Amino acid sequence: MPDVGSEALAWIVYGLFRGLGAVAQALPPRTAHDLALRLADFWYPLLPSAAGLRDNLAHVLGTSSEDPVAHQAARRAFRLLWQNYVDLFQAPRRHPSQWFPHIQVEGWEYLEGTRKAGRGVIAVSAHYGHVEWGLQFLGASGLPALAVAEPVRPPAMFRYLCRLRGAHGLRLIPADGALREVFRTLQQGGIVALAIDRDTTGSGRVYSFLGEAAWLPDGYAELAIRRGVPVLPAFARREEGGVRLQIWPPLHPAGKSEQDRDRLVAQVLEIFARVLREAPDQWVLTTPIWRIPSRR
């Protein structure tokens, strides 16, 4: 039997989200970003999502979640999260020519090289930096790309998010949907984008990350082994005046065993750990991945 209370809350959140989207789309980018920063500062002490974000960053920084250092980093990340929402809301009304010049791409040759092999590629990233620009860039690049997204409720919210993120060509499907589109995209030499830091389907496992046990997804590794395609880590870091999209060299599955899967996950997490250590306050994930009992 459906939970009427949670369903009603989902619709309320959806209504608020649409309202914020309408405001953000009506304002000039600079004004909308300034408003987002003010809202982030106001809501930071009040929302549980900020506490989850702080918990994650405390593990990266090697301190407690109540340490002032963790609070400072979490406040900066929370601000970035709200700025990302502004860019998401404004994506349909901003032509790629307005923001493409502000993206510095490193490692594009790795993507081109893997695609020339004709087997497709799994691009993996995280809730890090300017992830929204990274997704829009992928969609507007003209490459056949498909992103697997969290199946949020109500369905109207999922459709709205897909419309925003797919404004410039990116296709999206729910993470709990059929895999036919994923297989078809890879078979046609396309790109499938997956997240490495949040388990949206409950099928993840416990892995060692930054020296501690964390609950993380590994579907990208399972898929890479099953289809025999490489994994390409990529992270869009927000910098002064723009974004640096860093694409790492491809990682190839060594075999088809569970050990090969775990080895591939470990390689991806090692790269992500290096990225986090460079700029921990750009990690905007609000789901506390080290709280394993609550994730089961």
For residue 231, give the nearest of 276, 207, 204, 195 by alpha carbon. Answer: 195
Helix (H, G, I), strand (E, B) or coil at 196: coil
Q: Buried (b) or exposed (e) across 151-180, using 16+ Cβ within 10 A?
A: ebeeeebbebbbebbbbbebbbbbbeeeee
In this structure, of 75-84, 183-192, 264-273, the range with the lowest mean pLDDT score is 183-192
| pLDDT at 2 (0 to 100) | 47
Q: Buried (b) or exposed (e) across 81-101, using 16+ Cβ within 10 A?
A: bbbbbbbbbbbeeeebeebee
Q: Which residues contact 155 (CB under 8 A, 6 or more apart)?
A: none
| pLDDT at 4 (0 to 100) | 55
- State how far the Cα of 15 lies from the Cα of 17, in Å rounded to an integer: 5
DSSP for 226-253, please give it: HHT--EEEEEEEEETTEEEEEEPPPB--
pLDDT in tens, 241-253: 899 999 999 999 9
Instruction: Determine if the peptide bond prior to 154 is cis (ω within 30°).
Output: yes
pLDDT in tens, 91-105: 999 888 888 889 999
| pLDDT at 84 (0 to 100) | 96
> How large is the average pLDDT for residues 173-184?
88
Residue 29: other Cβ atoms inside 10 A? 15
Contact 209, 217 (CB under 8 A): no
**Which percentage of the chain shows pLDDT scores above 90?**
83
pLDDT in tens, 71-124: 999 999 999 999 999 999 999 998 888 888 899 999 999 999 988 888 899 999
- Provide the pLDDT confidence category of residue 3 given band limits of 50, 70 and 90: low
